[in-house]
């Protein structure tokens, strides 16, 4: 399923159809340094691709390039067979990206942050923001500005977007930053459920993932 740089678990005997997300010959540079080149990868529904690598090997750049935020030097990213630049509408409608910076406003409350995130999408919310926040353990804090919450709680508000906004592809850059052990296992449960529903997850983390019954591929950058 994966390119030459990837170490994958035993591949399935036959690949039924083209995976929704395919990256072909991707090359990204930062400054005049080549981070990676000729990178191929593909993710099928219900699969997780975990990106590992030392600091500075381009994990974040890879995720941002897939989302269309970082410039691509060579190669292309395909969503259901179409270049994401051409099919930007469908691709962005199916994508939730949680980056290095959480993408939440510290002067707004968790509910206000989620309401803005919902308004920015086209889809109707999958669950209401209150129950998503409750699941992430922010039940009594939904009207407290993030400024008064901890970094981990702010991270949980960002992760609540995954529950509220129904998308197929999750791109998560170090999602466990600032999270405690229960937070980490909660995110793992969310990823497992998402994959059981046919979702795709692209995640960069150094920590081993405890995902029950989910096919996890590993891609090591800079190796």
CB 107 within 8 A of CB 139: no
Phi (first) and psi of residue 39, to 5 degrees: -90, 125
Q: How far apart are alpha carbons 177 and 155 in whole angstroms? A: 8
Q: Which is nearer to other proteins, 3 or 145 (CB)?
A: 145
Strand partners, 49: 202, 217
Q: How far apart are alpha carbons 187 and 162 in whole angstroms? A: 10
Q: Which is nearer to other proteins, 158 or 221 (CB)?
A: 158
Q: Which is nearer to other proteins, 56 or 103 (CB)?
A: 103
Please report how close the Cβ of residue 119 comes to other proteins at its closest, in angstroms.
Answer: 3
Please report how close the Cβ of residue 158 comes to other proteins at its closest, in angstroms.
Answer: 8
CB 178 within 8 A of CB 147: no
Residues at the interface with other proteins (CB under 8 A):
67-71, 88-89, 92-93, 95, 97, 99-108, 112, 115-117, 119-122, 145
Q: Which is nearer to other proteins, 32 or 107 (CB)?
A: 107
Please report how close the Cβ of residue 123 comes to other proteins at its closest, in angstroms.
Answer: 9
């Amino acid at each position: 399923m994966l390119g030459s740089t990837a170490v994958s678990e035993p591949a399935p005997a036959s690949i039924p159809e083209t995976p929704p997300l395919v990256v072909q010959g991707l090359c990204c540079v930062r400054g005049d340094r080549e981070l990676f080149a000729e990178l191929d990868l593909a993710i099928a529904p219900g699969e997780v691709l975990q990106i590992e690598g030392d600091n500075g090997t381009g994990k974040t750049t890879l995720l941002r390039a897939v989302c269309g935020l970082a410039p691509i030097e060579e190669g292309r990213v395909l969503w259901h067979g179409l270049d994401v630049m051409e099919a930007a509408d469908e691709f962005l409608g199916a994508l939730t990206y949680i980056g290095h910076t959480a993408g939440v406003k510290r002067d707004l409350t968790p509910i206000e942050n989620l309401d803005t995130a919902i308004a920015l999408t086209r889809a109707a919310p999958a669950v209401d923001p209150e129950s998503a926040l409750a699941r992430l353990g922010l039940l009594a804090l939904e009207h407290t500005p993030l400024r008064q919450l901890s970094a981990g709680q702010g991270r949980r508000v960002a992760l609540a977007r995954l529950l509220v906004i129904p998308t197929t592809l999750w791109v998560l850059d170090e999602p466990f930053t600032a999270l405690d052990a229960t937070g980490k296992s909660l995110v793992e449960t969310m990823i497992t459920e998402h994959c059981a529903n046919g979702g795709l997850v692209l995640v960069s983390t150094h920590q081993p993932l405890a995902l029950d019954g989910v096919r996890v591929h590993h891609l090591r950058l800079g190796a």
